[in-house]
Amino acid sequence: MNRILPLPSACNFRDFGGYETRDGRRVRWGRLYRSGALAPLSAEDLERVRALGARAVLDLRRADERLVAPNPDLGPEVIEWHWAEGEERSPIAGRNFPPQVDPAVVRAAMLAMYGEMWQSLRTRLRGVFGGLADAAGAPVILHCTVGKDRTGIAAALVLTALGVPRERVLEDYVLTNEAVDLEERLARGVAGAVGGLGLAESTRHLLRLPTEVRAMVLRADPDYLEAAFAGMEREFGGVEAYLERALGVDAAARERLAGELLE
């Protein structure tokens, strides 16, 4: 099956099912979708997304992002989930890097961001699993603005909870680099325009960075996601322990999830 859906106006919209688990089962196709902002969808692509039959949209964006680029109406049966801000101490959002900043400095900031995002997003990550439980195996769409950072961590944790090996989880994360040209999307427009990204004011300063510097922000680097896993492992002793103790996703919850999403 084609993991990257043929939706020209979508940003990084793809199916993250189909991965084999450590016990030989497989994540069901057509149940788990991940994406960037949905606001830029053309009328034609919006109809295609509606036809997927999603029953929930799990929106990881901040309130200012939702205000700039509100989600389109996917139908009366679709429940939209979003959460209170909590703490989001991103070294990228709201930070004005100097024009001559070294790309290595920005890459280090991205590693630091991932190294703590699993903490600052805890409320939203816990909510993702609540939304999946509520959907009871029906299709869901998980998204943020570009579908890489917050969505990347959330999707990685969902796949991990289902028993997908780390190498496949990383493979899904870096697929962003093939699924979308984020630099080109920035050039199209930043909010609401077809193919744009819907950037909030707190992140528009990224448009002023040199291309080679901005690439450190836009790239899905496996080291970024590994930094998140390393943080969970340092504090909790493992990702499964983080799922259980921080997000409330214990063995019983993982087995219920597996019963709904694995075949």
pLDDT higher than 60, residue 86: no
14-261, which class in CATH? alpha beta
Q: What is the arithmetic mean of pLDDT over 180-203?
A: 64
User: Rounded CA gap, 117 and 255, in Å?
Assistant: 26
pLDDT band at 125 (very low <50, low <70, confident <90, very high): very high
Express each pLDDT in 208-233 by its tens digit: 777 888 889 899 999 999 999 999 99
- Minimal CA–CA distance to 77: which of 55, 44, 96? 55
Domain spans, the chain: 14-261
- Tally of CB atoms within 10 A around 105: 12
Banded model confidence at residue 97, pLDDT cuts 50, 70, 90:
low
- Residue given tokens 């299709």 in the structure block: 139
Q: What would the mean pLDDT of 1-15 be, rounded to a whole number?
A: 93
Read off the pTM.
0.92
For range 110-139, the mean pLDDT: 94
pLDDT of residue 75: 92
Catalytic residue numbers, as ranges: 144
Average pLDDT of span 29-40 = 95
Bridging pattern class, strands 32-35 and 140-143: parallel
Question: How much is the pLDDT for 89?
Answer: 52
pLDDT for the residue 203: 59
Distance between CA 160 and CA 179 in Å, rounded?
21
Mean pLDDT computed over 101-106: 86
* Percent with pLDDT over 90 in the chain: 71
